[in-house]
Amino acid sequence: MANITEAEIRKIVESIIKGTSVASNHLKYSSTEYDGRKLIGIYADMNDAIDAAERGYKAVRAMTVEQREKIITEIRKLTVAEAPIMAAIGVSETGMGKVEHKKLKHILVAEKTPGTEDIVSEAKTGDNGLTLTEMAPFGVVGSITPSTNPSETVICNSIGMIAAGNGVVFNPHPNAIATSNYAVDLVNRASAAAGGPEILVCSMVKPTLESAGIMQSHPKIKLLVCTGGPGVVKAVLSSGKKAIGAGAGNPPVIVDDTADIKKAGKDIIDGCCFDNNLPCIAEKEVFAFSNIADQLIAEMQKNGAYLITQEQADQLVGVVLEEKTNKAGVKFKTVSRDCVGRDADVLLAKIGIHVDKSVRCIICETYFMHEFVQHELMMPILPIVRVDNIEQAIELAVKAEHGNRHTAHMHSKNIDHLSAFAKAVETTIFVKNAPSYAGIGFGGEGHTTFTIAGPTGEGITSARSFTRKRRCVMADNFRII
């Protein structure tokens, strides 16, 4: 897929793991500059950004597929080379996640996001001649991106959307604007280096809900792609335009008594802690058969999990969830932005428990209706609920997923159990006997994406998701047999 060799990738990953890669300790960044260098393609006005993205689209339209692929190859190279910088800015700006894991996420995007090879034409021949179906670009795509995987989503979207022949304008999350705009600039630098336009993709100096609104109603925007929580997905789906919605998840994990419990304990903690649980696919709550629950918890503890009591869990609820009141005066709870994506030891310190950085995850035994089970926390806290049998496990896990149709996981060697849960939960991604990230191609087969479109059905999006099908018919001719 990528023009980077496996050996090159392995070398980079090894250097990251050993900590020998360039670390940026004195970061100087803003939404328009990095280290004194002006970022390319960043506009104060959404209308200007859309006009520039339209010029980018026209330039892409005029290119051969080979030229597009050259730009994509350059994006991949720069993404690998600058992964340490984007990872460092991402953590510094948002206060969320882990630098080492964010580097790996960027490398995954560079290596496993499909390019132009994903665009495939179809031909149908018969007595009446030849009909050709091609995957055409939409035009200018408006993309709304999250704070949890900011630059990863910008680069992943850019590769797929450019491969499909589109222009792109981003309205990134305001809390991750410098990180997102660094990635926009990287795509533009890659374009220029590969002989493409200097401004291929665009973004905002200060993205707001208002600029998102302009994007959603602008006549030049032909497709909206949004990656984020329920609010934004609802907003774009009400826009009256074609929209791809990649929404919230709350992935449950079932562990039955046929599973390799040692492996399950390690896999679940590895997946749950990856980038401090920011990925929407990461394990959020566990339903464990009662007869293996103690062993599973012990294995988790061997892998950096810290077990807290029910009382301590309730204390932590008061810290990580905030009570708010909506416009109708109804009270509701939402995750505290100061706790999302934070290290486990930092969260524990908030309730007076002081541990070192070897603690990767907080676990607790609890009951189904507990807030830790019901809320998508996006932090390394993992509630565990004991269940008596597979029927109960599936019933509760399906309810905990809240109909998001996003992601679910299972550790089992019983194919009947695995099939029953997969059928019942109806998620876009279902991972068996592996950490969650295997579901997006990290240690699992298949391409990657950071825009998993459950609500609108495109699934693991790629270049072809950002195309519209067009048909050309040649009646009674062009058949060669």
The residue within the footprint of ligand NAD, chosen from 4, 131, 132, 229 (CB under 6 A), is 229
Name the minimum Å distance from CB 352 to ligand NAD: 28
CB 391 within 8 Å of CB 420: no
Listed in sequence order, the DSSP H helices in 289-429 are: 290-302, 310-320, 344-349, 371-374, 390-400, 415-425
- Report in angstroms how near the CB of residue 119 gets to ligand NAD at its nearest: 21
* Out of 17, 23, 123, 209, the residue judged to bind ligand NAD by CB under 6 A: 209
What is the spatial distance between Cα 187 and Cα 457, in angstroms, rounded to a whole number? 27
**Which region among 45-53, 222-230, 347-355, 360-368 touches ligand NAD (by CB under 6 A)?**
222-230
Are 55 and 117 spatial neighbours (Cβ–Cβ below 8 Å)? Answer: no
Residues 423-462 within binding reach of ligand NAD (CB under 6 A): 450-452
User: Among 97, 249, 383, 439, which residue interacts with ligand NAD (rule: CB under 6 A)?
Assistant: 249
Q: Which residue shows structure tokens 């803003």? A: 30
Specify the residue, 200 or 340, whose C-beta has the smaller distance to ligand NAD. 340
| Residues in 286-345 at the binding interface with ligand NAD, rule: CB under 6 A | none
Residues 171-198 as b/e (b if ≥16 CB within 10 A, e otherwise) read bbbebbbbbbbbbbbbbbbbbeebebbe
Min separation Cβ 376 and ligand NAD, Å: 6
275 binds ligand NAD (CB under 6 A): no
Task: For residue 247, state whether it binds ligand NAD (rule: CB under 6 A).
Answer: yes
Retrieve residue 426's tokens. 């109806």
Of 54-62, 183-191, 227-235, 367-375, the segment contacting ligand NAD by CB under 6 A is 227-235
Query: Binding-site residue total for ligand NAD (CB under 6 A)?
Result: 26
Among the candidate windows 26-34, 53-61, 145-153, 294-302, which touches ligand NAD by CB under 6 A?
Answer: 145-153
Distance CA 106, CA 443 (A): 15
Helix or strand run (H / E) with residue 179? helix 177-193
Residues 336-365 that bind ligand NAD (CB under 6 A): none
Q: Residue 252 CA to chain centroid, in angstroms? A: 17
Q: Which of 173, 284, 370, 411 forms a contact with ligand NAD (CB under 6 A)?
A: 173
What six digits make up the tokens of 302? 């061997």
Q: Which of 201, 232, 268, 316 binds ligand NAD (CB under 6 A)?
A: 232
Q: Which is nearer to ligand NAD, 293 or 340 (CB)?
A: 340
Long-range residue pairs from 428-431, CB within 8 A, at least 24 positions apart, any chain = 428/452, 428/453, 428/454, 428/459, 428/460, 429/281, 429/460, 431/281, 431/407
Asked if residue 244 binds ligand NAD (CB under 6 A), the reply is no
Among 10, 123, 195, 231, binds ligand NAD (CB under 6 A): 231
Q: Which two tokens stand for residue 181?
A: 């705009």
Of the candidates 217, 208, 149, the one whose C-alpha atom is nearest the C-alpha of residue 183 is: 149
CB 247 within 8 A of CB 404: yes
Helices then strands, counting H and E runs in the chain, come out as 15, 22
Listed ranges 66-74, 142-150, 317-325, 410-418: which one lies at the site for ligand NAD (CB under 6 A): 142-150
Residue 337 backbone phi and psi in degrees, to 5: -60, -20
DSSP state of 39: P
- Least separation, in Å, of the C-beta of 303 and ligand NAD? 24
- Specify which residues 335 forms β-bridges with: 321
- Taking the least distance from each CB to ligand NAD, the nearer of 245 and 265 is 245
Q: Which is nearer to ligand NAD, 169 or 280 (CB)?
A: 280
Q: Which stretch binds ligand NAD (CB under 6 A): 138-146, 158-166, 311-319, 356-364?
A: 138-146
Min separation Cβ 225 and ligand NAD, Å: 10
Q: Which stretch binds ligand NAD (CB under 6 A): 241-249, 358-366, 417-425, 430-438?
A: 241-249
Please provide the DSSP assignment of 192-252 as one string. HHTTS-S-SEEEESS--HHHHHHHHH-TTEEEEEEESSHHHHHHHHTSSS-EEEE-----E
Decide if residue 145 touches ligand NAD (CB under 6 A).
yes
Residue with the closest Cβ to ligand NAD? Answer: 228
Taking CB under 6 A as the binding criterion, the range among 116-124, 223-231, 306-314, 317-325 that sits at the site for ligand NAD is: 223-231
Q: Which amino acid is at 288?
A: A
Q: Does 280 bind ligand NAD (CB under 6 A)?
A: yes
Q: Which residues bind ligand NAD (CB under 6 A)?
A: 144-149, 172-174, 209, 212, 227-229, 231-232, 235, 246-249, 280, 376, 450-452
